[in-house]
Amino acid sequence: MADFGVYLHIPFCSVRCDYCAFATWTGREHLIGDYLAALRSDVERQIAGGMPPATSVFVGGGTPSLVPAEQLGEVIRAVPLAVGAEVTVECNPDDVDDQLVAVLLEVGVNRISLGVQSTQGHVLASLGRHHRPEHVARAVEAIRTAGVPSFNIDLIYGAVGESVADWTETVNDVIDAGPHHVAAYGLMVEPGTPLSAEPDRHPDDDDQADKYLETERLLASAGLANYEISNWARPGHESKHNRLYWAQGDYAGIGCAAHSHLAGRRWWNVRTPERYIERVATGASTEAAGEVLDPATRNAERLQLALRTSDGVPKDAFDEVTLDELADFVVPHPRDSERVVLTVEGRLLANELSTRLVEPGSVGPASTDPGVSVAVGGGNVRRR
């Protein structure tokens, strides 16, 4: 059976972070009950339409841990699961306690992702985050005591006022917490966010590069291997769901603004929770728009995504002259002589290097997008 993912979007937040450009809202708690009911109805409608059992489910947001756990659990229960499915829920550290974790485990959640971002209070303030650093330890204790099979910690580096020493302390604090997986993203400036309006708070490329190299050094020493530019895991704890995205697999996005993909066609839902609730209630399509990827575009994306991972790309995705020129950044795969992978330094230049890819067997580039020189921002490819 082919892998198939389900993404459930929870768009509610108590406070919107300064850097966030996702489809999230504050002050709409009155919609939570109707929205969760719409999610469940939409899941049931998609099952009736032939949606296969999911090999991975990701509940993201927004802040999924903000909504009533029992109601969220009913939505998760409604999703048909394949044997061995990975079921992840994003949580804010402030919300995690023994009761929440118990409910999540009861409905089949086997992976929790904590949005920690930093363990330094002044850095959290700089990011516009409002959770308390001391609540991270409490959340981790609840997760570990309950025996959650796998948990991830999300981090962001590059905030103004964050020194390399601050970042090193954060990473060491996270290592001490003992997660199975760490995702570390360079702070990105998204249009329309409060961060974008304040240039003096924008991250510095060289600073982010230094912090990325420190992240790799510390996490590798702690036994977490990099398997995608911004993701490190202990053996067997790589994210199935994110790997599905990176492999251009098929997935259903359920909820407002959620993205879906099936056999080269991508589409996305109406953006606001009000419109989503209305569409589901009336039996109308929740789709806002979509696109069909032509073979060339799909192949280019396939190579660009693969280049970011530890699987790498076929060696003839670069011509021989280019491979010689990029010897410090692209090297033979350690276990497959027919493939090449990025070095640690190459990961810093992944966007730029992706412009040098060619479709294997062709003479033309796989992409003409110039990208940017520093790729440490990672780019979370989860579809919102």
- Residues 24, 99, single domain; the answer is yes
Instruction: Give how far the C-alpha of residue 371 lies from the chain's centroid of Cα atoms, to the nearest Å.
Output: 20
- Residues 239, 315, single domain; the answer is no
Last residue of a domain, one of 221, 244, 267: 244
User: 152 lies in a domain?
Assistant: yes
pLDDT for 1 equals 77
User: 335 lies in a domain?
Assistant: yes
pLDDT for 362 equals 61
User: 277 lies in a domain?
Assistant: no
Rounded to 10°, the helix 164-177/205-221 angle is 30
- Residues 120, 231, single domain; the answer is yes
- Residues 85, 197, single domain; the answer is yes
Amino acid at site 208: Q
User: 41 lies in a domain?
Assistant: yes
CA atoms within 13 A on the CB side of 250: 12
- Residues 11, 104, single domain; the answer is yes
Q: Are 144 and 35 in contact (CB under 8 A)?
A: no
**Sequential DSSP letters for 326-377:** TTTTEEEETTEEEEEEE-HHHHHTHHHHHTT-B-TT-SSBS------S--TT
**Sequential DSSP letters for 32-80:** HHHHHHHHHHHHHHHHHTTPPPEEEEEEEES-GGGS-HHHHHHHHHHS-
User: 270 lies in a domain?
Assistant: no
Q: Total structural domains in the chain?
A: 2
- Residues 311, 223, single domain; the answer is no
User: 348 lies in a domain?
Assistant: yes
Last residue of a domain, one of 244, 276, 294: 244
pLDDT for 361 equals 62
pLDDT for 365 equals 61
Last residue of a domain, one of 200, 223, 244: 244
Tell me how crowded residue 338 is: count the other CB atoms within 10 A of its CB.
10
- Residues 51, 191, single domain; the answer is yes
20-37: per-residue pLDDT in tens? Answer: 999 999 999 999 999 999
pLDDT per residue as tens, the chain (384 positions): 799 999 999 999 998 899 999 999 999 999 999 999 999 999 999 999 999 999 999 999 999 999 999 999 999 999 999 999 999 999 999 999 999 999 999 999 999 999 999 999 999 999 999 888 889 999 999 999 999 999 999 999 999 999 999 999 999 999 999 999 999 999 999 999 999 999 999 999 999 999 999 999 999 999 999 999 999 999 999 999 999 999 999 999 999 999 999 999 999 999 999 999 999 999 999 999 999 999 999 999 999 999 999 999 999 999 999 999 999 999 999 999 999 999 999 999 999 999 999 877 665 566 444 333 333 333 333 322
pLDDT for 377 equals 30
pLDDT for 364 equals 57
User: 97 lies in a domain?
Assistant: yes
Q: State the pTM of this model.
A: 0.93
User: 129 lies in a domain?
Assistant: yes
Range of the domain at 24: 4-244
CA dist 31 → 62, 203, 275 (Å): 14, 35, 11
Q: Are 277 and 38 in contact (CB under 8 A)?
A: yes
- Residues 192, 82, single domain; the answer is yes
**Three-state SS at 128:** coil
- Residues 373, 225, single domain; the answer is no
